[in-house]
Amino acid sequence: MKLMILGCPGAGKGTQAQFISRDYHIPQISTGEMLRQAVTQGSELGQKANVIMQAGKLVPDDLIIDLVKVRISEKDCKNGFILDGFPRTLPQAEALIDAAIALDVVLEISLEDEAIVHRMSGRLVHAASGRVYHSEFNPPKVPMKDDVTGEALIQRDDDKEETVRKRIDVYHAQTKPLINFYKHFPSNARVAAPKFCQVSGLGTVETVAARIHEHLVQKNILA
Ligand code: AMP
């Protein structure tokens, strides 16, 4: 299964991708996470990406496209993968088609802007692993500690309200057009059209996970 999860930052893509990855044993490819790792490592890519990410903007398409192509060609992606946070622009979606990478399903998790702002303010991450929690909706077993390692959780700079609002604007301008792109997939494309489904991102992580499972089963994507 080659799945792409689409939605505004904070809609729950990363958390739901984590669940699908665990249950169906396919890797989650999170471009945001790959970039954050590059920033931590201080690589050339990380240095370029850092300022852009802090401003809530998107990293240039060419940088991100190459990163994803290399990642998808790795062995663990042989039986499928979950794209989380990519593609995020029309040129990125077109680059996947040009590389003859066919997605089976595009899943949109939809959520109102204000719900997103509320949600992001409670988001916590374990920096070393990228595990995501929420103080209200998906709390760690021990407050502010990672469930697996017991290490401290942090709030990411780009989850702060001002940056969140900027990221929402960027989503509306650059990423939302992908919904129509996938709904009306070009019939002359090199690859077949993916199935498109939309679920509401409202509710607890378990509710949304159950909703996603139901949709994917209905579409005969998951057993
Ligand atoms: P995320 O964790 O997916 O919300 O990504 C965090 C940040 O990484 C975004 O705000 C962008 O600056 C950058 N980023 C992640 N994925 C992409 C992408 N596909 N294209 C451009 N920038 C990206």
Write out the DSSP string of 165-213. Answer: HHHHHHIIIIITHHHHHHHT--TTSSSPPPEEEEEE--S-HHHHHHHHH
Q: What is the pLDDT of residue 11?
A: 92
Nearest CA owner, ligand 1 atom 8: 32
Asked if 102 and 191 touch (Cβ cutoff 8 Å), the reply is yes
Ligand 1 atom nearest to CA at 30? 3
| Residue 221, pLDDT score | 72
Q: How far is the centre of ligand 1, averaged over its atoms, from the C-alpha of 30 (Å)?
A: 9
What is the mean pLDDT of each successive set of 10 residues along the chain, which is 223 residues long?
94 93 94 93 93 91 94 95 97 95 95 92 89 89 97 88 90 97 91 94 92 86 67
Strand arrangement, sheet containing 28-30: 28-30, 81-84, 2-6, 105-110, 195-200
How many other C-beta atoms lie within 10 A of the C-beta of residue 80?
Answer: 15
Compute, in angstroms, the gap from residue 90 CA to the centroid of ligand 1: 14
Catalytic residues: 13, 88, 123, 156, 167
Report the separation in Å between the CA atom of 32 and the middle of ligand 1, taken as the mean of its atom positions: 4
Q: How does 28-38 read in b/e, with b if 16+ C-beta sit within 10 Å?
A: bbbbbbbbbeb
Q: Is 32 in the pocket of ligand 1 (CB under 6 A)?
A: yes
> What's the pLDDT at 222?
66
For residue 87, cis peptide bond before it (omega within 30 degrees of 0) = yes
Helix (H) and strand (E) counts in the chain: 9, 7
Q: Ligand 1 pocket test: pick from 59, 82, 124, 132 the residue with the most ligand atoms within 8 Å of its Cβ.
A: 59
Answer yes or no: is the C-beta of 65 below 6 A from any ligand 1 atom: no
Q: Give me ligand 1 centre to Cα 94, in Å.
A: 17
**CA–CA dist 216, 105 (Å, integer):** 9
Spatial distance between the Cα atoms of 154 and 156, rounded to a whole number of angstroms: 6
Q: Which pLDDT score is estimated for 223? A: 63
Q: What is the pLDDT of residue 160?
A: 83
pLDDT of amino acid 159? 84
Q: Domains plus CATH for the chain?
A: 2-112+175-218 (3.40.50.300)
Closest C-alpha to 10, from 208, 182, 222, 219 = 208
Q: Are 49 and 38 in contact (CB under 8 A)?
A: yes
